[in-house]
């Protein structure tokens, strides 16, 4: 409830609705949040609490900017590649986007692709190479350490 009130208060003080993920950011730091509340409710000096909270607000703003940037990059990606993906590739790309801005931890492996698309290793190899050639994915590593990453760089 306090987090919702904080977001409402921020919106009222700037005179317009805010687009920040304050509650989400605090939830990710829940232990620190409760530690701060406990520590600062024992004193009438709220300065340290306000400094901590202001830092969380700034982190929330940055998280929101990052997320909006990710969605814009996703839209641009699909504008460039939508008509050039086969069904398997489209399924794997959609799954990668569901992981969010950070993507698969450690990148997409050929084994991940096999599980997502339920295809043969030879087809997976061809599909992944095709995605790299089209500029949809970038590739790092060699052999079993090969990983694929969404190429969200816009083409100039």
pLDDT in tens, 82-128: 899 999 999 999 999 998 877 788 899 999 999 999 999 999 999 99
Residue 77 or residue 155, greater confidence: 77
Q: Are 112 and 104 in contact (CB under 8 A)?
A: yes
- pTM of the shown model: 0.69
Instruction: Kindly report the average pLDDT of the chain as a whole number.
Output: 84
- Residue 16 has a pLDDT of 47
* Domain residue spans of the chain: 2-70, 85-150
Best CATH choice for the domain 85-150 from the list 1.10.10.10, 3.40.190.10, 3.40.30.10, 3.40.1190.20: 1.10.10.10
Alpha-carbon torsion angle 37, 40, 44, 47, nearest 10:
-100
């Amino acid at each position: 409830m306090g987090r919702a009130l904080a977001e409402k208060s921020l919106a009222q003080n700037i005179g317009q609705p805010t687009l920040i993920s304050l509650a989400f950011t605090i939830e990710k730091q829940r232990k620190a949040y409760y530690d701060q509340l406990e520590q600062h409710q024992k004193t009438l000096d709220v300065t340290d609490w306000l400094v901590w909270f202001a830092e969380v607000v700034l982190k929330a703003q940055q998280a929101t900017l990052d997320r909006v940037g990710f969605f814009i990059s996703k839209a641009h990606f699909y504008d460039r590649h939508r008509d050039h993906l086969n069904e398997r590739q489209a399924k794997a790309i959609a799954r990668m986007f569901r992981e969010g801005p950070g993507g698969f931890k450690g990148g997409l492996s050929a084994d991940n692709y096999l599980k997502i698309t339920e295809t043969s290793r030879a087809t997976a190899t061809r599909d992944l190479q095709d995605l790299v050639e089209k500029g949809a994915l970038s590739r790092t590593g060699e052999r079993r350490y090969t990983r694929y990453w969404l190429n969200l760089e816009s083409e100039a």
